[in-house]
Amino acid sequence: MKITTKGLNLERIKADAYLLACFEDKKLLEESFNFLETNTGKPVDGLIKDDFKGKNSQLKSFYHAGRRFILTGLGKRKLCTLEILRCSTARAMKAADSNGNKSVALFLYDGELIDYSFEEIITGQVEASLLSLYKFNKYIHNKKDTPKDQINEIIFLTSQAKKRNVEKHINTAVIIAESNINARDLGNEPSNIATPQYVAGVINSYGKKYGFNVKTFDKKALVKMKMGCLLAVAQGSANEPRMVVMTYNGGKKGQKPYAIVGKGVTFDTGGISIKPSQGMESMKMDMNGAAAVIGTMNAVARLKLKVNLIGIVGLTENMPGGSAYKPGDIITSYDGKTVEVLNTDAEGRLVLADCVSYATEFKPKCIIDLATLTGAALIALGHTSTALISNNDELSEKLIKAGNDTFERLWRLPDWDDYDRLIDSEVADVANIGQGRLAGTITGALFIKRFVKDYPWAHLDIAGTGMSPKAGDYVPKFSTGVGVRLLTRMFKDSQ
């Protein structure tokens, strides 16, 4: 994708489509039409003015003065949020894309919006532009019948072209969007390709390209380290597990690192507690937590944020097989606890237990784990919000704020001891599931909590938000890359 920034003089710009977001307010809408008329030297057809009122969700595509314009409505300015601006930008982009336009010029809204900074307004539109065009179509040979990747050039137009750091904001947004897309691509890659070994290889090349350190632990190393929980999940698979540790030091020397830990189950069959076959293909995305960690490392390193950051992903398949772990097995975690496996489908928490234990060795400022952990998160919150469980109010507030700012929203559930008791085992230190189906998202989280010592910790259950059953305006169907924009925002805010 070729991306450039230019001023508003249309004479100097050549594009297949020109996109402009307009408010519904009478005066502002008039100003938009006036702007088009002065810029093209021609009056806009009265019928177009009759049709297009700038309502939120309204789109109007037309030829005017030899160019194609696409107007997209923002609704009333007073009610316009950053998310409305993102979605309306995305809709215009998609419309241009399905028209078959190759190059588009987008008039960035560079005025004010209540509650949002100039940087947010610019980055919001740029992120939404790129994210809306995402397609996972690399395996389709005959792309004629599919929405192909048609737009290959975006020209961002702004009255502030050389002022107010506009280009810097655009670059930042491009990096964040591309990192989100890195995560989507990993999540969508099928599990016959995206094995633990493959994902570790991808991380290695990102580390080299974007400037962070990568250390990979293979099965032999994991056996030596006694990562008993991760190994138990992996033992039914022909593809061996990996743990990958990424290190980025952009902060001061000696400054405590943040640790982000991701569940990277490249395919979850459920193991011996096998899942129903209906919909099982979506379990190729059971590594969305790891994908979010990898995408965030990419973004933070490329943006050269002044933070120290450790990313850890536990990569394995969860397969039934002659050597698979079984219900009733008692396994020993990396930190020495015995774990009674009551359900082999509750594997994510086992993978994370060892990985977060390992994270504590870096004496981090906090540990944030991300996982497609429980179907119960989907039942409770749908695809709209990520479940947050944490032992720390300050960390929770920071995450919730970043969630609201990026619209990757979080909803906090309690981490009370009452729930913790549900995972006591009669025969081991802890059981890997609670009793019955009660509070499944919380008991899953509290299992992980038993391994974080006293570090400030937050668990993000992205089972609902990491995978989307249908496309939104800038969030695609299937793997969404959720977590990358959220975490990058939090780290950006806490430099």
Question: What is the C-alpha to C-alpha distance for residues 167 and 341, in angstroms, rounded to an integer?
Answer: 53
Residues 369-408 that bind ligand BES (CB under 6 A): 372-376, 378
Q: Any catalytic annotation for residue 401?
A: no
Our finding on whether 343 is near ligand BES (CB under 6 A) is: yes
Please report, for residues 207, 348, 371, 466, the alpha-carbon distance to residue 374 in angstroms, rounded to integers and kept in the order given: 30, 9, 8, 12
Residues 6 or more apart from 460 whose CB is under 8 A from it? 289, 368, 369, 370, 371, 386, 387, 388, 399, 410, 483
Dihedral pair phi/psi, residue 461, rounded to 5°: -90, 105
Q: Any catalytic annotation for residue 304?
A: no
Of 472, 461, 466, the residue nearest 415 (C-alpha): 461
Question: What is the C-alpha to C-alpha distance for residues 457 and 460, in angstroms, rounded to an integer?
Answer: 10
Out of 127, 268, 405, 420, name the contact with ligand BES by CB under 6 A.
268
Q: What type of residue is 491?
A: F
The catalytic position among 6, 164, 215, 275 is: 275
SS3 content of the chain, % helix, strand, coil (to 5): 40, 20, 40
Nearer to ligand BES, 381 or 433 (CB): 433
Out of 127, 189, 317, 345, name the contact with Zn ion by CB under 5 A.
345
Nearer to Zn ion, 173 or 350 (CB): 350
**Partner whose binding site includes residue 440, from Zn ion, ligand BES, none (CB under 5 to 8 Å by kind):** ligand BES
The catalytic position among 67, 302, 349, 398 is: 349
Site string for Zn ion, 290-329 (x = CB under 5 A): ----------------------------------------
Please report, for residues 1, 19, 82, 217, 479, the alpha-carbon distance to residue 294 in angstroms, rounded to integers and kept in the order given: 22, 33, 26, 16, 14
Shortest-Cβ-distance residue relative to ligand BES: 375
**Partner whose binding site includes residue 463, from Zn ion, ligand BES, none (CB under 5 to 8 Å by kind):** ligand BES
Out of 440, 476, 481, 483, name the contact with ligand BES by CB under 6 A.
440
Dihedral pair phi/psi, residue 92, rounded to 5°: -65, -40
**Partner whose binding site includes residue 95, from ligand BES, Zn ion, none (CB under 5 to 8 Å by kind):** none
Out of 189, 335, 347, 473, name the contact with ligand BES by CB under 6 A.
347
Site string for Zn ion, 241-280 (x = CB under 5 A): ------------------------x--x------------
Residues 6 or more apart from 221 whose CB is under 8 A from it? none
Q: How far is the CB of 326 from ligand BES (least distance, A)?
A: 14
Nearer to ligand BES, 17 or 376 (CB): 376
Nearer to Zn ion, 280 or 471 (CB): 280
In three-state secondary structure terms, 55 is coil
Dihedral pair phi/psi, residue 307, rounded to 5°: -135, 155
Q: How far is the CB of 231 from ligand BES (least distance, A)?
A: 17
> Widest CA span of the chain, in angstroms?
82
Nearer to ligand BES, 4 or 343 (CB): 343
Q: How far is the CB of 385 from ligand BES (least distance, A)?
A: 15
Out of 348, 364, 476, 483, name the contact with ligand BES by CB under 6 A.
348
Quote the tokens at residue 411. Answer: 């909803």
Of 70, 183, 271, the residue nearest 485 (C-alpha): 183
Q: How far is the CB of 345 from Zn ion (least distance, A)?
A: 4
Cite the active site residues.
275, 349
Which spans of this chain sit near ligand BES (rule: CB under 6 A)?
A: 268, 286, 343, 345-348, 372-376, 378, 433, 440, 463
